Amino acid sequence: MMRRPTTCARFLIWLIVILGCLAAGGAPVARESAQSGAPAERHSVWVHPPEVGRDREAVRAFVEQCRRAHIETIILLVKGMNGEIYWPSQRFSAAVVKGYESFDLLRELGAAARPHGIKVHAWLVDFVEGLNSPALKAHPEWAQLNHAGGTTGTETLGKRKRPYPYVWMCPARRPGYTDQWLLPMIEELAKNPAVDGIHHDYIRYPGDVAPDSFCFCDYCLTHIPRYAMLAYETRSSERYDVDVRQERVEANWWTDPTMLPSTYSKAERRERADFLLNGRTIPGGPPDVRYFFYDYRVEQIDRFAREVHELVKKVNPKLEISAAVFKNPVQSARFIGQQWHRWNEWIDIYTPMTYRSHFAGSFESYLDHLEETTRRQLEWTRHGRPLEAGIATTYLYREELQPFEDMNDAIETLRDLQSSVQDAQAAQRQLNAAVYVLEGASGDARQAREMAMKRLVAAHDRLQKRLAPLAPDTAKTLAQLVKAAEEASPEQQATAVAGLSAELANVRADLPPGFCPPEKLARAIDAARRAKPDGIVIFAASSLKREKLWPALEKAFAK
């Protein structure tokens, strides 16, 4: 029979346990659900460098905020949309943002986060660079091209045809951007002791600008037919016609016809691009060559995901690889080459962007679709890797924030009209045009200006209903500026609109508490939870601050 420990022995046992806990120093401990014993829900947040701060105390304060919100992974942007980087790299020094060559943000964040068991993932915007980025300046040939030979920087967006400000780089070209710039950059980060993981973003082809138009660079025009082997390279002068043995003409594909036109290599870029999108593999058959165009793009993104995995795990097998991906991997394979549900071998954590902005319908519809989509994502990946449902706080508040967008749209219209009138006046002076031409233009502009002002006032009235009870002084200031713009003469309106625009931006950047109802965030998190993902990831720290939602997140993640 076992003897009971003496009082002294029991005291020593408890002392050892307590000392062991203290020695752990807050090291990460795998949490488990009290009910099921299963791993507890994971919590992550996407973070832009300004939110972390530019000194040690600010970094520590930010980490403390994350700790209070039960965040376990900070996904820190280290390579942005313009190709800019936020760590003191020697190899890529030309891309380092001013100030970050002397302030080591990753080191400070890692030092502050690790004692709390919080991981830091280095977040890269993979295939996007700015119009003036060092990579593009040094190697313009690395850029993706459309059928006209233009980069994504030649494209426009929206009804106003705004110039697209970014250049997407070709994932396929070798040697090129992928192996000469992006992979070496990731290797450097993987060797950084402050980094616990690499996070992919924009690991795809462009989807918001001409998704069927990239890439038709010289490399891809050559390698897409080669990838699908639409013609033989040996005995290339020999051409083989389809041998029609089956009733349906496309059923004779296996008879080994030469699918690539003999004129392809000598055709202009536009003609070759047209064949790859609209051509037929079998004369008389369906226009099916585009299948190989889409499949080629999927292969290039798959290849990159595989290469990153091999590289990172070779440097440090303990590093995690996570990825921000579109909500539907089957559709995104077609539109952006991102067939991510087949990446279980190369990705450790999926963070799908199940943002409301990617769904149509009401907020209530979004909650239902968020749950359904998250369930489907788990099915697509066969639960092969942890999956954290991505929720963007800003987009939850479409109804509350729409007046800001409508006011800004009206302001932009007024600015465009002012520029048009000034251009017409300049043209009249230069060409000595007839007076009635200018008068006609002015009449049209006057009517358009009145309509834009009506839209501005209507949007402002909607905004006031929510803003006035929460921030009456701010609402009063905004109302005065709208009235001034409404009463301004055409000559004074530009100044009045500029003042209104600036104040509107200030209000949007610092919304009063309660303007964005915290219960919406709680309900979105609960909707995602019903699908039983492995965790929740929030976009982003900046919007949590702007929309005063950190307390709501602390409460939601405490469950």
pLDDT, tens digit (0-9, with 9 covering 90-100), for 45-78? 999 999 999 999 999 999 999 999 999 999 999 9
Give residue 9's pLDDT.
Answer: 46
Phi, psi of 430 (to 5 degrees): -75, -40
CB-facing half-sphere around the CA of 165: CA atoms within 13 A? 5
Q: Are residues 302 and 281 in the same domain?
A: no
Q: Are residues 281 and 313 in the same domain?
A: no
Phi, psi of 203 (to 5 degrees): -90, 75
Instruction: Pick the more confident residue, 473 or 38.
Output: 473
Give residue 435's pLDDT.
Answer: 44
Q: Are residues 499 and 523 in the same domain?
A: no
Q: Are residues 391 and 526 in the same domain?
A: yes
Give residue 38's pLDDT.
Answer: 63
Residue 341 sits in a domain whose CATH number is 3.20.20.80
Give residue 212's pLDDT.
Answer: 96
Instruction: Pick the more confident residue, 480 or 10.
Output: 480
Domain-ending residue, one of 271, 288, 305:
288
Give residue 160's pLDDT.
Answer: 84
Q: What is the pLDDT of residues 485-544, one digit of tens each?
A: 999 988 888 899 999 999 999 999 999 999 999 999 999 999 999 999 999 999 999 999
> pLDDT band for position 34 (50/70/90)?
very low
Strands 73-79 and 197-201: unpaired
> pLDDT band for position 432 (50/70/90)?
low
Q: Are residues 260 and 378 in the same domain?
A: no
C-beta separation of 524 from 31 below 8 A: no
Q: Are residues 194 and 316 in the same domain?
A: yes
Q: Are residues 159 and 261 in the same domain?
A: no
Distance separating alpha carbons of residues 492 and 466, to the nearest angstrom? 29
Q: Report how many domains make up the chain.
A: 3
Mean pLDDT of 221-247: 96
* DSSP E strands, 399-526: none
Within a domain: 18: no
**What is the helix, strand, coil percentage profile of the chain, to 5?**
55, 10, 35
Q: What is the pLDDT of residues 173-229, one digit of tens each?
A: 999 999 999 999 999 999 999 999 999 999 999 998 889 999 999 999 999 999 999
Distance separating alpha carbons of residues 163 and 537, to the nearest angstrom? 31
Q: Are residues 187 and 302 in the same domain?
A: yes
CA distances to 263, 388, 474, 552 from 507, in Å: 60, 32, 8, 21
> pLDDT band for position 13 (50/70/90)?
very low
Mean pLDDT of 360-369: 98
Q: Are residues 391 and 405 in the same domain?
A: no
Give residue 442's pLDDT.
Answer: 56
Q: What is the pLDDT of residues 92-146, one digit of tens each?
A: 999 999 999 999 999 999 999 999 999 999 999 999 999 999 999 999 999 999 9
Within a domain: 32: no
Residue 428, pLDDT above cutoff 70: no
Residue 421, pLDDT above cutoff 60: no
Give residue 159's pLDDT.
Answer: 83
Q: Are residues 389 and 280 in the same domain?
A: no
Domain extent for 254: 231-288
Within a domain: 130: yes
What is the rounded average pLDDT for all residues in the chain?
Answer: 91
User: In one letter, which amino acid is 113?
Assistant: A
3-class state of residue 2 by DSSP: coil
> pLDDT band for position 445 (50/70/90)?
confident
Give residue 135's pLDDT.
Answer: 98
Q: What is the pLDDT of residues 286-303, one digit of tens each?
A: 999 999 999 999 999 999
Q: Are residues 305 and 260 in the same domain?
A: no
